[in-house]
Amino acid sequence: MGESVRREASIAHVDLDAMFAAVEQRDKVSLRGKPVIVGGVGGRGVVATASYEARVFGARSAMPVAQARRCCPPGTAFLSPRGAAYRKTSQVVMALLGEVSPLVEQVSIDEAYIDLAAAGHDLSVAAVTMLMGQVKDAIAAATGGVTGSIGVGTSKLVAKIGSDLNKPHGLTVVAPGDEQTVLHPLSVGRLPGVGPATQDRLRRANVHTIGDLAQVALADLVDWFGQAHGNGLFRLARADDNRILVVEREAKSVSAEDTFDVDVTDRARLGTEIDLLAARVGGRLRTAGLSGRTVTLKVRHYDFTTITRSSTRFQPTDDPRLIAQLARKLLADVDTATGIRLLGVGVTTLADFVQDDLFTNTTTNAETEIRPSPAPSNTASRPSGTTALSWRPGQDVHHEQYGPGWVWGSGMGRVSVRFEGPTSPPGPVRTFAIDDAHLRPADPPDWTAPLS
């Protein structure tokens, strides 16, 4: 390993377990222990997070919601994201980690690295194991039951992979000198930068595990992947990662791109590729709690000529459908007749997480409901001339008579609300006219306080 790799297991990686779904299960007591999908509820929506109960049925992040509906059983909750609730939980966790060390690198809304050496902790394996076990329990207590998994090692690479080995609510401390013993049996797909294309090329060379990769000569890796990527894979296979923690981080853009094995001229194929890239970008934006106003299309022609085209919206978005729509319009002005080698989609002019057009239209399809059991109808009319509100599945609401709750489903001019909270028993479902004057949107509930 490189000389600058640490001698002690002093870098920790904390990754909250299925965070969006876990927050929904915490705030909606009737969903605890049940499959929950958070993401776009529209026809082309994408799964942002699937609860562990939903993953049993094959649901996973970045999967089309329509496919997740086919995988999951009746009674699965399909909810739109609540950015404010996730940010609030994230802030609690990051503040807690800040008490462990002054050097915390927040990577996204649900994960961070901690430099334990910067805080003067005892860095023996036993002491680090005890400390991070306490941190793991403190996260669950402070968030009302949202758990995190933690990996600790001599580098970011080892810590990151370690946090994923024993999910959920797991702790893995890799002792100095044990890095390759732990990493080598794992799939090469665990390494950063090893996507489907790289993994496929390695598979053709009969390289399946990180240990297999460590046996490949540097010259071969450079020949296969180029100087930068080849050298990077060579080092990572040996757990040689000397990256430092970056405390101040401001994302400038979020993007995804693919290089084609054969140049593509077919516009329908390129449109499909844009949809897939936009889904990846939208998922990354939501994971980071960000949205953006400017969509950029990157196109590399057969002769390696590269062009970019951009379009800026008035309002920021993290909606893959809108990102794809804008990117497709940009592609319409690009000559594809000679063949496209690379296609990329990116979002810039970033802002904090916002809800956008994906969830602003009134739901008219009963499929977006969570298949509630029959509930009594309680309707009231909004005063004449008042604009009807739009209701998103999972949205926090408050009724003047029944108190706080969340949108169970809506359609055909009606909205069903389940009246419960994180500290209440499972509550009843009541149905109202969609423009009921006594029903209004509300802030996320306080998971530390009794339901009022």
Query: Which residues are the active-site residues?
Result: 111
Beta pairing, strands 36-39 & 47-50: antiparallel
Query: How is residue 381 written in tokens?
Result: 């009319």
What is the C-alpha separation between 263 and 244, in angstroms, rounded? 38
Look-up: residue for tokens 């909810």? 79
Measuring CA to CA, which residue among 91, 92, 44 is closest to residue 69? 44
Question: What does the DSSP assignment read for 319-376?
Answer: -HHHHHHHHHHHHTTS--TT-EEEEEEEEEEEEE----GGGTSPP--GGGS--PPP--
Q: At what angle do helices 227-236 and 218-225 cross, to 10 degrees?
A: 140
- State the Cα torsion 186-187-191-196 to the nearest 10°: -170
Please give the helix or strand (H or E) that residue 19 lies within, else none.
Answer: helix 19-27
If one counts every other C-beta atom within 10 angstroms of the C-beta of residue 181, the result is: 12
Query: How is residue 242 written in tokens?
Result: 């000397």
Cis peptide before 74 (omega within 30 of 0): no
Starting at the earlier edge strand, list the strands of the sheet with 253-264.
Answer: 253-264, 340-352, 290-301, 306-317
| 3-class DSSP state of 184 | coil
In this structure, are residues 377 and 395 in contact, taking their beta carbons and an 8 Å threshold? no
What is the C-alpha separation between 409 and 259, in angstroms, rounded? 41
Beta pairing, strands 77-79 & 36-39: parallel
Measuring CA to CA, which residue among 367, 373, 300 is closest to residue 335? 300
- State the Cα torsion 383-385-386-390 to the nearest 10°: 120
